[in-house]
Structure 1
Amino acid sequence: MTAPSQTIRPLKPMLAPVLATLLMPAAALAQTAPARPATVTPAPADAAQPGEDGAARLERVEITGAAVETAIRRESTAAKTIIGRDELDRYADQSVAEVLKRLPGVTLGGRPGRGGAVRMRGMGSGYTQILINGERMGAGLSLDDLTPEQLDRIEVLRAPTAETGAQAIAGTINIVLREDVRKRLNSVNLGITDEDDHLQPSANWSRADQLGDFSYNLNAHLMRSDRLTDSRSSTRETSTPLAGGAEAVTLDQTDTSESRDWRNAAHLGGRLQWKLGPADTLSLSPFAILSHGGGDSRASRRTDTGTADFDTATQQTERDFRLLRLNGQWTSRFEGGTRLEARGGYSRSNFDADTRRTESLGGIDNRSQHDITSLDEQWWSTGGKLTRSLGGDHQLATGWEFERGQRDDGRSSVQTLLPSGTTRSLLADFGDNLSARTLRSAFWAQDEWAVTGQWALQGGLRWESITTRSDLADGLVHNRSTVLSPLLHAIYRLEEGGRDQIRASLTRSYRAPTLQNIAARPSINSRFPANGANTASSPDRAGNPDIRPELATGLDLAFERYLDGGGVLSASVFHRRIHDLIRNQTALETVSWSSVPRFVSRPQNIGNATTEGVELEAKFRLDEAVANAWPVDLRTAGSVFRSRVDGIAGPDNRLDQQPGWTANVGADYKLRELPLTVGGNMALTPSYAVQQSTSQRSTTDARRVLDAYALWRFSPVAQLRLSASNLVPRDETSTTSVASADATNAIQSTTTAFEPSQTSWSIRLELKL
């Protein structure tokens, strides 16, 4: 493993300006703040507020949820950040994914202002572990299906622990659904969002109460989404004779499309809890989603050079999604400080889609395609945790997990050539149905010990096994992987009870292959029919049953200073050495679906890689750092990343989808004279290039996303929230270049994609009944 000093050295030239920008106000605060630990003491309910009649204008400390969340972060042995209700509600986001884009070190892969794949530390999809109430999501559930109103909090862990799981090379995001059944609650939120003159109404109702030994928390959400999406791409392909000669353009093509997608959805969830006695508790957590939607799109293709198979196309789609999830948990406490938690769950989801596409050339319909998809997933899970106090601040926990999943994927794809009426099944060579089964088991032990008032340790060991079986037309697919992960976390407080502390973590984590990696049904590139050859720039795609998991050895170091009022300053470094990196590679293969060899893109283990970075965070009140300043709450975060893939020559041989740096700057201001709070957040990501293989290179445009909100409080039980997402929309451009060769020519193909973005405006009335 590279020593920490060697790990950071390449980052120093970029670190200085980021550090100065983020921590200059914080440095002043550190010098002026009193040297005492922050305390969390709730203010009296009848305390006078500034500006009220008869209330003295006194300097006060306002205790909010942020102070409690910072206290939890401070006491946690493993690095953990808590995002509570205040931050979840702040921008009236439509999905949880939109909340995550404003968290330190988190970016999204979708269009600006919309959800997308979650990335921590600049690492692509699959490196970040997503949990719901501490368990894997499964059963077709995604972050776009969850709304902030359904959540109690979000927990972000930078390094894996034995309890939360080791499939977290970049980190873990744990989504905790509403679970507080002790606090009485009855609230209604009514909102409407406008994006490009398409209205999207929503309504949310939450209720919690306690009736003797029974308590409950219920949540219902109704919504309609309606979005318009435009895109444009151009493809240029050239051919140069290997023996020498002039370059010739073989394809010059431009595609444009416009689609409108809509969805009506109902989300129902809750938690029912019974106190069975002085030491036993039983809880049930049902959750359901019903969704119906569809879309219409129109595409056009202009071909200046080459052969066009269509010039216009229309497509209509209908979709239905249903999900039912039920989790139960029994908790019992025994004498001697032992606690047992046993849980079990079942979930099932169904997705059905019916798509019809018609293509025309020269004003005459020449091809139609009808696709019917039916996807059914079922998951059964059980697990438990046994915790025993060993005296003082020493606690030992052991646990187990078993999870079984069944996925049945039925597809029918029929293509009709017009006007002859000749039809053929596009899946005839691979089978219309795909059945896959996954079995996951894990055992873990974790020892947490506050050795002294300054030292605390957490050591863990986790063993996990994943077995995947799938039935394909050409035979049975079987893949099994096991990983043993030792994990160690330590925290050192410079003074007992002080506010400065150092964290360190040494871990082993991994990224498991997905079902799509292992058992994907072959997909034939439509540009080149299966009865002939294709090119490396237009490959077929398939899975790889022999793929192995990526293994990573990680080191994390951090310095934290905690401030009065819930503020925090943090600087950290991380290093990951990844073995058996997975990346799609294109090669010429002899395949069952063609009489001639075809280029096929499959996931492969290509070797080793290294990623490292510096992460900075500062959260504080401006008037505590600068005399006579406004009482503005500031949140700033910046990260610098470096990575390299050993088997690929540079430059830009970094991990896929990882930019060089990211930054977030946010502020909130509560006016003293008016019941108004305003705020905003700017997220920045620079442009970057990735050398994905010796022959393929991609570039991604810079991104900036500005969000803002205003909250007007009419009374303690009614308030109105106005928010804007992607306030300064910016169109994005990305390119992919592929170099290949056949027997006589060198071929260069470049595709440039252009995606515009829109501003979303939302207004929401929030009532406490």
Structure 2
Amino acid sequence: MLLVLGGEPAFVMTALWRWVWGCPVMPSAGFARMGSVRGLLLTVGVASAGAAGGVPAESGNDPRGPERVEVTGQAAPAAARAVMAGKLVLGRTVLDGAHVSTLRDVLRRDPAVSVSASGRIGLLGLPGYTQVLLDGLPPPDGLDPLELPPSQVERIEIIRGTVAETGLAGIAGTINVVRRSLKRSLPWQWSGELSGPSAQRTARMGLQGTWRDEAAGHAAGLTLNAWRTHSELATDSNGAVLAPTGVDAWRSSTTNTALHTQVALSPSVRLTLAEGESLQLSADFSSGSSGNVQDTDLTPGSDVGARQPQQSRYRWNWRTSPSSTGTLEWERRLEDGAVWSARGQVARMNESMEVTGSAQWAGGAMQVLANRDDRQRASSQWRLVRRGGARDGHVLQWGAELRHERLTQRRGLDVEGASSYIDALFTTQAVSRNLDRSVWVEDDWAWSDELQLKLGLRYEQRVHRLAEGVARHEVSLGMWAPTVQAAWSFGDDGEHTLTLGLSRGFNMPLAMVLSPRPVLDPTAECRSQLSCGTNRPQAPDRAGNPFLQPERSWGIDLNWDASLGEHSSASLGVGWRWLSAVRVQTTALESVLWSTEPRWVERPTNGGRAQSRAVTLGFSLAPADWWVNAPSSLEFTGSLQWAGSRVSAVAGPYNRLPEQSPWAARWGSKVRVGAWPLEWHVDGALHPAYQWQDAMGMLRRQGTKRTWSTSATWTFDAVTQLTLQVSPLLNDRHTMHAIWQPTGEQWQQRSQVRPVFSLSWTAQL
């Protein structure tokens, strides 16, 4: 294994791809042809490695302009988990010690982060309201920052609420991933992962390196990431009517097969033009595909079951080919310590999405249906920032941003291999234009040695327009937003920190969400306007809402962090959010243009006001701080979070926001085994059963979910580590129960995830 880690990366790459899909690895000249291999679409792309600002652990303070996303005027200590006004910083020490494959796994352990029962990452129990940035900007299309390996990231910034510099789109907060910068040379490092068994297979590979000419100040960097996952999940379902007959209306068994592939290549060049002046050029290309196939066999038991197909195949597929972004960044430092910086970015993306299905009913009727959606996106973004030097305890900075996007979308529907009548009812081409403008100013104010203030003001104007033939839809927003972040350190040695934040934010709907054109569920019978009969609430048509308005919010965050010893700490956080024009998904029986019979249609609507609150208690305890005989490497971590919400447009006791558990618990422990360089981790999570209801009477019951995982890491040297992980440790059973209260119909789904074994490593070439 050591020989493989140290000298044969090409061999291991081959093993990775063969393990997941039996796919032969192509030479570089054949990369573009890999789409022909079992549906594998892999076009090499670029995701800028050096465009992001970073504070390398070796370089200390890094005051670069737009590369930094700071909440106070002080540079974040990059080595550990630092607490500031409104922000947490997870530095290189935390990332190196996590011994996991992705940033998503790092965040799942942090007490400040919420993880829903479905696994979504967020803050304050609101994953849908959490903004994720890459180097302070929205990530390129198709590139998920949370899938990056920790070795390629300088730090993770967890920003509570909104601040003027990062924008107002993160109602619950912002997670900003800052990649390694070009400040110093970085030897070639690579990482990989293999997991199985056959029901859940993953292959992952990452490569990075930085060259720097110390005399001239020039630098170049390269990062490569590729991963592929293949999973199968079996689900049993049954449905009934609430009448106490004791007989199921139907039973079904579904096999869900998912496949995801992603490739990103990241070059970056930084030139020193003069003393204190630099120019950096980077490019983003990424390519990927995601697919999902559901095969269902139904056993009908009554008239309710007769409205469902006896056999169906539902296929969803999305791919980019490819997404590309180019970034040019200029920076100049003045003698008084001020910094001017300008950034320009252009991006292009080709995307296709297809939802197809075949279904056969009891009477012998057969339907083959395909929803097609091809998109071409072109966007440009410009940013100018000035950061002033410190004067009398103040550091003043201001900036201006402009972003324009044009998205052309061609959509169609095929039934039985022929163009559908729906294409004649709705235009097949839509063009959206999004224009965003903003200006902001911030003052980092060191009131005293104990009290730090960050006062900001931001104005954002957004206009999203959609043109579909002669139809025109528009949604606009203009908002002034003050932001206040304060941090007070107290105690004998400043071991306690109290932070308070006030913020305002919004959630802007994309222009394409305004389109009223439907996407039909392939398992809902509809072959023509006359034979498009009543479908089911659990398989509705999906359409947009031309009258949808942006959500707006006010928020308050109060957090206490304390050092309990040399290696122990505790934290308590409370957050409130008040939302207006909150967006909810509604399912209703509507008279529609594409059917002579009413159809169940799901669409987004504004549901009045909502209130959300969350309390998080976290701890990290090292017994050696109090017990002299305890192993110095032993550590216990965990968090307990309570969250609740109320939506005014939803009646009843279960009118909470979706995916917000009433409470959740996570815990973990790690210890070094004897004198060996072996570290053992055990992690657990609990999401209790809970219920929530939408505005039209759909009541969902989420079953209790428990997850255990364990891992062992062997450290060979500072850059070579090998980790074996089992997750989940035991069979993970999950139940979802839904009741459509207007008719009394109900259905239940039961699924089980079996243990997955993974082997991951990092090494230096």
Normalising by structure 1, what TM-score? 0.81
1:123 matches 2:126? yes
Q: Give the Å deviation of 1:155.
A: 1.3
Report the secondary structure of 2:163's partner residue: coil
- Paired with 1:566 and 1:275, the residues of 2 have a C-alpha distance of 41
- Paired with 1:362 and 1:540, the residues of 2 have a C-alpha distance of 22
- Paired with 1:356 and 1:581, the residues of 2 have a C-alpha distance of 32
Relative to 1, partners in 2 of residues 1:560 and 1:315: Cα closer, same or farther, differing over 3 Å? Answer: closer
Give the AA of the match of 1:274: L
Q: Which residue of 2 aligns with 1:697?
A: 699
Q: Give the Å deviation of 1:110.
A: 7.3
1:179-234 Cα offsets, whole Å, 9 max, x none, are 25414322122431114455433332221221242112321123332222322333
User: Bigger CA drift: 710-719 or 603-612?
Assistant: 710-719
Which of 270, 273, 277 lines up with 2:274 in the alignment? 277
Relative to 1, partners in 2 of residues 1:404 and 1:572: Cα closer, same or farther, differing over 3 Å? Answer: same
The residue correspondences of 1:121-200 to structure 2 (distance < 5 A) are 121-125=124-128, 127-137=129-139, 139-143=141-145, 146-196=148-198, 199-200=201-202
Q: Give the Å deviation of 1:644.
A: 1.7
Q: Which residue of 2 aligns with 1:494?
A: 490
1:523-556 Cα offsets, whole Å, 9 max, x none, are 3455364546647836543222222222222222
Give the AA of the match of 1:121: L
Q: Give the Å deviation of 1:105.
A: 4.4
Q: Give the Å deviation of 1:342.
A: 0.9
Q: Which residue of 1 aligns with 2:82?
A: 73
Which ranges of structure 1 fall in alignment gaps of 5 or more residues? 1-39, 43-66, 239-245, 741-746
Q: Give the Å deviation of 1:608.
A: 1.4
1:762 matches 2:761? no
- Paired with 1:142 and 1:732, the residues of 2 have a C-alpha distance of 26
Does the 8 Å CA contact 2:464/2:510 hold for their aligned counterparts? no
- Paired with 1:147 and 1:382, the residues of 2 have a C-alpha distance of 29
Q: Which residue of 2 aligns with 1:574?
A: 575
- Paired with 1:41 and 1:597, the residues of 2 have a C-alpha distance of 62
Q: Which residue of 2 aligns with 1:611?
A: 612
Give the AA of the match of 2:401: E
Relative to 1, partners in 2 of residues 1:144 and 1:456: Cα closer, same or farther, differing over 3 Å? Answer: closer
Q: Give the Å deviation of 1:624.
A: 1.0
The residue correspondences of 1:245-394 to structure 2 (distance < 5 A) are 252-291=249-288, 297-306=294-303, 307-308=306-307, 310-314=309-313, 320-321=319-320, 322-352=322-352, 357-361=357-361, 366-394=366-394
Q: Give the Å deviation of 1:697.
A: 1.5
The residue correspondences of 1:298-697 to structure 2 (distance < 5 A) are 298-306=295-303, 307-308=306-307, 310-314=309-313, 320-321=319-320, 322-352=322-352, 357-361=357-361, 366-416=366-416, 424-473=420-469, 475-495=471-491, 498-519=494-515, 521-524=517-520, 527=524, 529=526, 530-531=529-530, 534=534, 537=537, 539-562=540-563, 565=566, 567-587=568-588, 589-595=590-596, 598-631=599-632, 632-693=634-695, 695-697=697-699
Q: Which residue of 2 aligns with 1:750?
A: 746
- Paired with 1:577 and 1:294, the residues of 2 have a C-alpha distance of 37
Relative to 1, partners in 2 of residues 1:304 and 1:149: Cα closer, same or farther, differing over 3 Å? Answer: farther
Give the AA of the match of 1:489: Q
Report the secondary structure of 1:351's partner residue: strand
- Paired with 2:617 and 2:328, the residues of 1 have a C-alpha distance of 39
Report the secondary structure of 1:97's partner residue: helix
Give the AA of the match of 2:437: S
1:358-411 Cα offsets, whole Å, 9 max, x none, are 434579782323454423323211112111125143101111121122223323
- Paired with 2:674 and 2:124, the residues of 1 have a C-alpha distance of 38
1:216 matches 2:220? yes
Does the 8 Å CA contact 1:300/1:312 hold for their aligned counterparts? yes
Does the 8 Å CA contact 2:332/2:340 hold for their aligned counterparts? yes
Q: Give the Å deviation of 1:710.
A: 1.0
Report the secondary structure of 1:130's partner residue: strand
Q: Give the Å deviation of 1:496.
A: 7.9
Does the 8 Å CA contact 1:139/1:377 hold for their aligned counterparts? no
Q: Which residue of 2 aligns with 1:9?
A: none
Q: Give the Å deviation of 1:353.
A: 5.2
1:233 matches 2:237? yes
- Paired with 2:77 and 2:582, the residues of 1 have a C-alpha distance of 40
- Paired with 2:745 and 2:512, the residues of 1 have a C-alpha distance of 26
Relative to 1, partners in 2 of residues 1:436 and 1:139: Cα closer, same or farther, differing over 3 Å? Answer: farther
Report the secondary structure of 1:73's partner residue: strand
Give the AA of the match of 1:106: V
- Paired with 1:356 and 1:650, the residues of 2 have a C-alpha distance of 37
Report the secondary structure of 1:276's partner residue: strand
- Paired with 1:140 and 1:184, the residues of 2 have a C-alpha distance of 27
- Paired with 1:71 and 1:191, the residues of 2 have a C-alpha distance of 25
For these two proteins, the number of residue pairs brought into alignment is 682
Q: Give the Å deviation of 1:281.
A: 1.7
Relative to 1, partners in 2 of residues 1:647 and 1:426: Cα closer, same or farther, differing over 3 Å? Answer: closer
Normalising by structure 2, what TM-score? 0.81
Relative to 1, partners in 2 of residues 1:257 and 1:535: Cα closer, same or farther, differing over 3 Å? Answer: closer
Does the 8 Å CA contact 2:85/2:500 hold for their aligned counterparts? no
Relative to 1, partners in 2 of residues 1:265 and 1:679: Cα closer, same or farther, differing over 3 Å? Answer: same
Does the 8 Å CA contact 2:57/2:92 hold for their aligned counterparts? no
Relative to 1, partners in 2 of residues 1:633 and 1:273: Cα closer, same or farther, differing over 3 Å? Answer: farther
Relative to 1, partners in 2 of residues 1:231 and 1:263: Cα closer, same or farther, differing over 3 Å? Answer: same
Give the AA of the match of 1:541: R
Which of 98, 104, 109 lines up with 1:102 in the alignment? 109
1:87 matches 2:95? yes
Q: Give the Å deviation of 1:583.
A: 1.1
Give the AA of the match of 2:683: N
Relative to 1, partners in 2 of residues 1:119 and 1:663: Cα closer, same or farther, differing over 3 Å? Answer: same
Relative to 1, partners in 2 of residues 1:270 and 1:761: Cα closer, same or farther, differing over 3 Å? Answer: farther
Report the secondary structure of 2:339's partner residue: strand
- Paired with 2:314 and 2:701, the residues of 1 have a C-alpha distance of 30
Relative to 1, partners in 2 of residues 1:504 and 1:765: Cα closer, same or farther, differing over 3 Å? Answer: closer
User: Bigger CA drift: 482-491 or 181-190?
Assistant: 181-190
Relative to 1, partners in 2 of residues 1:137 and 1:293: Cα closer, same or farther, differing over 3 Å? Answer: closer
Q: Which residue of 2 aligns with 1:58?
A: none
Report the secondary structure of 1:135's partner residue: coil
Give the AA of the match of 1:718: T
1:422-442 Cα offsets, whole Å, 9 max, x none, are 874554422333332211111
Relative to 1, partners in 2 of residues 1:661 and 1:516: Cα closer, same or farther, differing over 3 Å? Answer: farther
Which ranges of structure 2 fall in alignment gaps of 5 or more residues? 1-55, 59-75
Report the secondary structure of 2:274's partner residue: coil
Relative contact order (alpha carbons < 8 A, sep ≥ 6): 1 or 2 greater? 1
Q: Give the Å deviation of 1:280.
A: 0.8
Q: Give the Å deviation of 1:752.
A: 1.9
Q: Give the Å deviation of 1:293.
A: 6.6
Relative to 1, partners in 2 of residues 1:712 and 1:627: Cα closer, same or farther, differing over 3 Å? Answer: same
Give the AA of the match of 2:229: S
Give the AA of the match of 2:87: A
Q: Which residue of 2 aligns with 1:4?
A: none
1:430-465 Cα offsets, whole Å, 9 max, x none, are 233333221111111111100111111111111112
